[in-house]
A and B are shown apart, each in its own frame.
Chain A
Amino acid sequence: MRAQVIDGKAIGARIRAEVAAEAAALAAQGWQPKLVSVSVGDTAAAELYVRNQQKQAESAGVTFEARAYPGETSLEQLTGILQGLNADPRVNGIIIQRPLPEHIPVKVLQKAVHPLKDVEGMHPASIGNIVYNDLALGPCTAVAAVEILKTLPLPMEGLNVTVIGHSEIVGKPIAFLLMGLGATVTVCHHMTRSVAMHSRAADAVFVAVGKPGLVTGEMLKPGAALIDTGINRIDTPDGPKTVGDADFASCAEVAGWITPVPGGVGPVTVATLMKNAVLATRMQMEHYAASYAKTDF
């Protein structure tokens, strides 16, 4: 093995430590950061995920309230619940857990979250800010993937980057974040004629598709960084296993740096959610302060 394996857990822990300090500073000013998680319907699928978020939040000094609503809750009721959370000054961030029941369109709910409380970075206004290179609250996985690249000794300006996958919440925001940092970005997807042609030219490759084994070592330029945001459950002779979108063994032979799955982008993503929670809290504090100031005249 040639590649250096990137320790996402360590990066996540470092971010959480920074978040904890910031959370304590905010709490001292009367703004204890608080996240509310909203699950609807069959919560078993997301339960492990929610519990992990709760644990991480607590270790980062962020209050976490997990709410679960029955599957038959209507869109109107959920929108009302979100409006209540939007208006509640004690709530600083709202997480909408997926999957949602079929009758609940996720984009409608994401739009119903106030942009200042959009810790998942899914509101169109949050994405718009990313495109305009004004990073407020970014989608967690995309921000985490880019943060990981930033820990490597690679100059961002002029870096050739290939992003495989053009999803709205991972691939595209990664592309815009990197472009803002001065990288030359190519976005590939299922209609791309030769992904390998583009990935082999790249100093850094991001993969966010949801297909195990999609990227192999021969698709990489020797020494390139490979950031794998895929999380796929597969069955192996040794039982079920979680793998990324890259064939780790062959990629690790060629890449200069590689993120493992699990233990790569995942832990940084949850830490980024906590970072967004304190960012959102600070933005709300400043927003209120600005409106107090206006009462002076």
Chain B
Amino acid sequence: MSATIIDGKAFAAKVRAQVTDHVARLKTDTGITPGLAVVLVGEDPASQVYVRSKGKQTVEVGMNSYEHKLDPQTSEADLLALIDKLNRDPAVHGILVQLPLPDHLNSDLVINAIDPAKDVDGFHISNVGLLGTGQKSMVPCTPLGCLMMLRDYHGSLSGMNAVVVGRSNIVGKPMAQLLLGDSCTVTIAHSRTKDLGAVCRGADILVAAVGRPKMIPGDWVKPGATVIDVGINRIQHPDNPEKTKLVGDVDFDSCAQVAGAITPVPGGVGPMTIACLLANTLTACCRANGLAEPEGLTA
């Protein structure tokens, strides 16, 4: 193995420490405590785990956490009323509606009801457009985390060839925008791309976000390239059929032989997502109060 392993856990801890410091200073200097409201509708077990984890980390960095757990049968009108209330609550700087929502609720409508300035997930259509037009916006957490790791590892990304595999709204597309913003030459590849291997081999930075276990083999990686693996796939454990195992979208063992640096799964991009949620909440709080944005924690 030759690649440097990018330790997402350690880096996320560093980001959280930065957020903690900034929150503490904010409290001393201005008396303001950033607040994050998380709305969970229903009892999806995975969502419950996420929401608990988000709430815990929010409190750990010194921010206020407001959890709103709603009945699975909650009507659209009631949910929109809650969002309206949170939009107007000055103690709430970030609002996150945990997805997926139950089938009877229109998630586009709900997300677009959030005040874009409080949309810490960066999914509101105005934030998507602001990012698309190079303006200040709230940036989706996962691609923001990837960008932070790339900047930390490389310094400047200017002029590098970046290939993003996957064109999802929550990772692939915003990732491409962020890399363009940092002056990479960006190719967005996807399921319809011809000769994906050749496209990937042109990449100095390869970001995989497709959701297919071990789809990218080592011989698709340019020697020395940086590989960011956003995929989180649960597969059957190779040695024990009764157990499962988490793997990414890249075949770690063969890619690590070729790449210059690579993020593991788990412990790579994953831990960065919540860290960036906290960073976004802090950013939203600073903007709402006309204060300078936290350095190094925005796009």
Q: Do A and B bind each other?
A: yes
Is B183 a contact of A191 with CB atoms below 8 Å? yes
Q: Which residue of B lies closest to A185 (CB)?
A: B188
Instruction: Choose the segment among A90-98, A118-126, A235-243 that binds chain B (4+ C-beta atoms closer than 8 Å).
Output: A118-126
Q: Are A186 and B133 also in contact (CB < 8 A) when A125-B125, A132-B169, A158-B194 are?
A: no
Q: How far apart are A68's CB and chain B's nearest CB, in angstroms?
A: 27
Interface string of B178-189 (1 = CB under 8 A from A): 001001111111
Query: Distance (Å) between the CB of B56 and the closest chain A CB?
Result: 32
Instruction: Tell me if B296 counts as interface (CB < 8 A to partner A).
Output: no
Whether the Cβ atoms of B129 and A128 lie closer than 8 Å is yes
Number of chain B residues close to chain A: CB under 8 A: 33
B244 beta carbon closer than 8 Å to chain A: no
Q: Which residues of B contact A185 (CB under 8 A)?
A: 187-188
Interface string of A127-152 (1 = CB under 8 A from B): 11111100000000000000000000
Residues of B within 8 A of A179 (CB): 167, 173, 188, 190
**Nearest opposing residue in chain A for B112, CB measure:** A125
Asked whether A125 lies within 8 Å of B126 as measured between CB atoms, the reply is yes
Please report the C-alpha to C-alpha distance between residue A183 and residue B187 in the assembled complex, in whole angstroms.
11
Does A192 interact with chain B (Cβ within 8 Å)?
Answer: yes
Is B134's CB within 8 Å of the partner chain A?
yes
Task: Tell whether, in the assembled complex, residue B129 and residue A192 are in contact, meaning their CB atoms are under 8 Å apart.
Answer: no
A168 and B194 contact, Cβ closer than 8 Å, known pairs A132-B169, A198-B185: no
> What residue of chain A has the Cβ atom nearest to residue B130's Cβ?
A124
Query: Which of B127, B180, B189 is in CB contact (< 8 Å) with A184?
Result: B189
Question: Is B192 an interface residue, CB under 8 A from the partner?
Answer: yes
Within residues 253 to 295 of chain A, which ones have a CB less than 8 A from any CB in chain B?
Answer: none
**CA separation between A179 and B188, bound complex, in Å?**
8
**Chain A contact patch, size range:** 20 to 34
**A191 with B132, Cβ < 8 A, contacts A176-B173, A184-B192, A184-B194 known:** no
A58 is an interface residue with CB less than 8 A from chain B: no
Q: Specify which of B127, B176, B180, B189 is in contact with A128 (CB 8 Å cutoff).
A: B127
Which residues on B sit within 8 Å (CB–CB) of A158? Answer: 192-194
Interface of B is mostly: mixed
A198 to B184, CA, bound (A): 13
Instruction: Verify if A114 is at the interface (C-beta below 8 Å from B).
Output: no
Q: Which residues in window 278-294 of B have CB below 8 A to A? A: none
* A68-100 vs B, Cβ < 8 Å mask (1 yes, 0 no): 000000000000000000000000000000000
Q: Is the CB of A172 within 8 A of B132?
A: yes
- A131 and B159 contacting across the interface, CB-CB below 8 Å: no
CB-CB < 8 A to B133: which residues of A? 107, 124, 127, 168-169, 172
CA distance A169 to B183 in the complex (A): 17
Pair B132/A176 contact, Cβ less than 8 Å:
yes
Task: Tell me if B101 counts as interface (CB < 8 A to partner A).
Answer: no
**Within the complex, which residue of A107, A132, A184, A191 is in contact with B187, where a contact is CB–CB below 8 Å?**
A184
A interface residues (Cβ-Cβ under 8 A, vs B) = 107, 123-132, 157-158, 160, 166, 168-169, 172-173, 175-176, 179, 182-189, 191-193, 198
